[in-house]
Amino acid sequence: MHYFKNSRKPCCQKIHAAADTASAALSQLPQKEPFLEPSHTMLFYTPFGKRIHCSFLLKKHYQKRIFSSCRWGLRHGITTFVADYTTPFGLLALETLCKLRETGEKFKLLGLQGYPISQRKTYRLMLEPYRELERLYLQCDEQCCDGAPLYAVRKVYSAAGLHCTENGLIIMRFLLMDNQIEP
């Protein structure tokens, strides 16, 4: 038993060291405080405490939902899409939005680190390599990342007028004026 405990320690240290290195690399990328207008912003994320997350089995289903939400948003004047890539649905949304952008759609894309990079979750069976995250992160127009875990909640989540989750599209009426967005 003692031998088993000691054999796992260096492995855990390597994982934490890799997470710290990736977090440092992402934090060194150019960042600025984005201005988000609630009536033109849609946020993709997995709600905190959700038991059943977006998974690899439901990837196609959720991609269709993200695509249709994005198309709906573009028709209704949404110009900025924010994806929290540390949540399963947000990561899938970021990948889908990058693909949609390659087809010629024009919109502003922001990457958001809502949780510390070592606590992120994914829809895949295994966590994607940090190089993949960095590649997606660099395809964004702006990045929202801060060392404080509550940054996303205070600055970005509260400034988005539309929230898109696995449950569907949520319109934050208290942020929007009447008759701006019609369902």
**Token duo for residue 131:** 């190089």
Q: Which parts of the chain are beta strand (E)? A: 41-44, 80-84, 108-112, 142-144, 162-165, 168-171
Euclidean distance between CA atoms 122 and 131, whole angstroms: 15
State whether residue 114 is helix, strand or coil.
coil
pLDDT at 5: 40
pTM above 0.95, yes or no: no
Domains in the chain (CATH in brackets) are 41-174 (3.40.50.450)
pLDDT digits (tens), the chain, 183 positions = 343 344 444 545 555 565 566 555 555 544 555 678 888 999 999 887 777 678 889 899 999 999 999 999 999 999 999 998 888 999 999 999 999 999 989 999 998 888 877 778 888 888 888 888 888 888 888 877 655 656 677 778 888 889 999 988 888 776 565 545 555
Dihedral sign, CA of 161, 114, 70, 68? negative
